[in-house]
Amino acid sequence: MRTDTPSDRAGFWTPTAAEARLLLHRAGATPAFVYSRAALRAAVDRVRTASVPGAELYYSLKANPHPGVVTALASLVDGFDVCSTAELETALNAGMPAAKVLFTGPAKSRPEAAAALAAGVAVTVESPGQARLFAEVAELLGVAGRAVVRLNTPYPSRAPGGAPSPNQFGVAAEDLDEVVGVLRGSALTVDGLHLFFGSQYADAAVVDAARRAALERARDVEERFGLRLGMVSVGGGIALPWCDADPEVDWAGLEAAGGEPLPWGGGGRTVVCEYGRSIAGPAGVLLTTVLDVKTVGDRRYVAVDAGVNHLFIAGRLVAGGSRGEPLVRAVGAPQDGAPQDAAQPGDAPERAWVTGPLCSQLDVLAEDVPLPPVAVGDTLVFLGVGAYGPTFSPSGFLSRDQAREIVL
């Protein structure tokens, strides 16, 4: 069982019991995700110091596209990465200039290509077929466009020395000539490269090596094709140590790694780092109400009104048994008098399985976690769940209500 304080460990926004009580009233009902603007700002500051020095920071809306979150971030980051026309609209509505929006994704449809080019945002191009699609659509629309060629990048192992994992994203090395040729013959300019290298990295040496390898490839591609690139996205990759078995991010190592000279950039050429989970994750909590408590065999089950239909990422399918458990704490029932932690002095935490209301054995939010004695009506607060929450969850299962979402 973990004994350290989650907020100390991961920089997660951790409302006090009194604050959580007010949030419950503000939300009106549970389950409710609450996101903190102040915590978003703190997270952006933290990842900036851990990024390539002078890099522009892009926020990936896929982590949390809530309009309030995106609007809060519009003035804190330098650009947005979007992956659908809905995310594109959210990004532009939040006030981000089109010049600072990048439409990513391995396979854009014709309408998506048209929407992106019509809006004037940059687009990633991930295959010869997609290059031809963008060329055709630009001609049809009579517009120019900015292409950012995504290069296929095997994702490094999370620990140094492990084997990289192959993936379907980006242009294969053998297709690069064709892609550049098609784009050069079109109304699009090859403005940049995209070398995303994966997610959930805690090891500074792995992240630094991936960034440097990306910039070396950018320098080589620029030379080989005689290009003048305006931007190179080296991905983000910084982990969210959300489960208790996840290693803490080596923030000091990342900051120190930034001191070394880089193989590409400067002179109006912009390095971009793009992040989702490390920005939105620490800034969100999920409030959920205890609906039932029972013991079956040697297990105490605490059933709550949130399930994997709201927080899929907590489920075994996503988190995986080896990642350990999410960070959860209890506050007293809202009808109690003075706000207080549900745990009373002297109450020893006991092990609990926190389960949801779905009739699926998979609906387990936390397995074997220390929790004080709780009663029906008490509130549990999951910490560090601001990323990959409602929009990453199978919300249609059992046709239950969506979780509320508010921004402080």
Nearer to ligand PLP, 94 or 272 (CB): 272
| Smallest separation (angstroms) from ligand PLP to the CB of 163 | 20
Nearer to ligand PLP, 103 or 134 (CB): 103
| Smallest separation (angstroms) from ligand PLP to the CB of 248 | 16
Tokens of 93: 């509505």
Rule CB under 6 A: is residue 104 a binding residue for ligand PLP? yes
Tokens of 344: 């009373």
Nearer to ligand PLP, 81 or 325 (CB): 81
What region does 388 belong to: left with phi over 0, alpha with psi -120 to 50, or beta?
left
Rule CB under 6 A: is residue 196 a binding residue for ligand PLP? yes
Residue selected from 63, 74, 207, 257 as contacting ligand PLP according to rule CB under 6 A: 63
Tokens of 133: 């699609």
CB–CB of 354/302 below 8 Å? yes
Nearer to ligand PLP, 87 or 274 (CB): 274
Rule CB under 6 A: is residue 146 a binding residue for ligand PLP? no
Nearer to ligand PLP, 81 or 367 (CB): 81
Rule CB under 6 A: is residue 126 a binding residue for ligand PLP? no
Q: Which residues pair with 80 in a beta bridge?
A: 59, 101
| Smallest separation (angstroms) from ligand PLP to the CB of 175 | 19
Total residues at interface with ligand PLP (CB under 6 A): 13
* Burial of 138 from C-beta contacts in 10 A (0-12 / 13-18 / 19+): buried
Tokens 């976690």 belong to: 369
Rule CB under 6 A: is residue 309 a binding residue for ligand PLP? no
How far apart, in whole angstroms, are the C-alpha atoms of residue 371 and residue 328? 8
Rule CB under 6 A: is residue 64 a binding residue for ligand PLP? no
How far apart, in whole angstroms, are the C-alpha atoms of residue 16 and residue 397? 32
Residue selected from 14, 30, 36, 60 as contacting ligand PLP according to rule CB under 6 A: 60
How far apart, in whole angstroms, are the C-alpha atoms of residue 333 and residue 97? 45
CB–CB of 58/78 below 8 Å? yes
CB–CB of 404/27 below 8 Å? yes
Residue selected from 51, 130, 199, 289 as contacting ligand PLP according to rule CB under 6 A: 199
Q: Which segment (125-133, 269-277, 303-311, 392-400) binds ligand PLP by CB under 6 A?
A: 269-277
Q: Which segment (22-30, 129-137, 223-231, 270-278) binds ligand PLP by CB under 6 A?
A: 270-278
Rule CB under 6 A: is residue 236 a binding residue for ligand PLP? yes
Nearer to ligand PLP, 271 or 374 (CB): 271
CA 365, 70, 115, 170 dihedral sign is: negative
| Smallest separation (angstroms) from ligand PLP to the CB of 284 | 13
Rule CB under 6 A: is residue 356 a binding residue for ligand PLP? no
Rule CB under 6 A: is residue 278 a binding residue for ligand PLP? yes
The residues, ordered by sequence, that sit 6+ positions from 361 with a Cβ below 8 Å of its Cβ are none
Helices (H), 14-84: 17-27, 37-49, 67-74
Residue selected from 46, 66, 277, 329 as contacting ligand PLP according to rule CB under 6 A: 277
Nearer to ligand PLP, 196 or 312 (CB): 196
Q: What is the largest CA-CA distance in the chain?
A: 74
Rule CB under 6 A: is residue 284 a binding residue for ligand PLP? no
How far apart, in whole angstroms, are the C-alpha atoms of residue 254 and residue 202? 9
Q: How many residues does the chain have?
A: 408
| Smallest separation (angstroms) from ligand PLP to the CB of 263 | 22
| Smallest separation (angstroms) from ligand PLP to the CB of 201 | 8
CB–CB of 80/109 below 8 Å? no
Question: In terms of DSSP bridges, do strands 299-304 and 284-296 run parallel, antiparallel, or are they unpaired?
Answer: antiparallel
Question: For 21, which DSSP code?
Answer: H
| Smallest separation (angstroms) from ligand PLP to the CB of 280 | 8
| Smallest separation (angstroms) from ligand PLP to the CB of 365 | 20
Select the residue whose beta carbon is closest to ligand PLP and give its number: 276
Rule CB under 6 A: is residue 81 a binding residue for ligand PLP? yes
Nearer to ligand PLP, 43 or 74 (CB): 43
DSSP 106-146: S---HHHHHHHHHHT-EEEE-SHHHHHHHHHHHHHHT--EE
By CB under 6 A, name the binding residues for ligand PLP.
60, 62-63, 81, 104, 196, 199, 236, 274-278
